[in-house]
Structure 1
């Protein structure tokens, strides 16, 4: 399948209209075939008892960007098989930006690395994802 601008616009709407993305406040910052950046605001409802961004919220943006990157290069559905995360620095304010890079593009399983940055461009977390490719 050739990735068209119509497909990328549909995909943006597909993700941004999902209830989970709305809950977290995630939006598409940039989307091209095989490349994307998504944004998530640091908001009070996503802070933990230490008043920093909850690791689950950070893991969610790391997981989400992998799904976006895979689906931006091929018209498939995906499911997370495994997500290994590393939390590098706390975040208290601003916004987070995530991007991902494909390691291995398999037909049934795909491996992708993702990184999340703060407003200053500093890495605050990384993940290695194993994703199942589900044909439509």
Structure 2
């Protein structure tokens, strides 16, 4: 990933986010699941279209909970990476090292409503960014903006 500082010595937010999405979207597993990350309104969002292969409850045609958990974990991780890059704490080489080491150490998912919809949108926000890890909150909404599931995760780097 090529991140070049602008005239002020900072990496433009949009560049960081687009590069992170580009890297994420190359994952064969996420392609297989139909998951995609993109920048909208200045933030990274995760998207997955409902597909027959993603159904967990056949009788009710509900999104599999594992798919929901996967996209929540992924959006939490990618937003955490963006926060690390943009923090300005330490040298850029150190921030890149932290991003490459980022791993989920704990995650709790709450399933609030059946996963019904044409597509689902995941978002994340940083609750705490520390020296060696961070805590993120993630949400998954359906195409009608109904909150389907939420998660809190800790990532270490």
TM-score range, shorter chain: 0.7 to 0.9
The answer to whether the aligner puts 1:21 opposite 2:30 as a matched pair is: yes
How does 1:1-136 map onto structure 2 within 5 Å? Answer: 2-4=10-12, 5-30=14-39, 35-50=43-58, 51-73=61-83, 74=85, 75=96, 76-77=99-100, 78-133=102-157
Larger Rg: 2
Residue-pair matches, total: 132
**Conserved? CA contact 2:18–2:38, under 8 Å:** no
Pairwise CA distance, 1:7:
3.5
More strand by share: 1
Unmatched 5+ stretches in structure 1: none
User: Aligned Cα RMSD in Å?
Assistant: 1.9
Unmatched 5+ stretches in structure 2: 86-95
**Conserved? CA contact 2:63–2:115, under 8 Å:** yes
Q: TM-score, normalised by structure 1?
A: 0.87
Q: TM-score, normalised by structure 2?
A: 0.76
**Conserved? CA contact 1:96–1:116, under 8 Å:** yes
More helix by share: 2
Q: Which has the bigger relative contact order, CA under 8 A and spacing at least 6?
A: 1
Pairwise CA distance, 1:68:
1.2
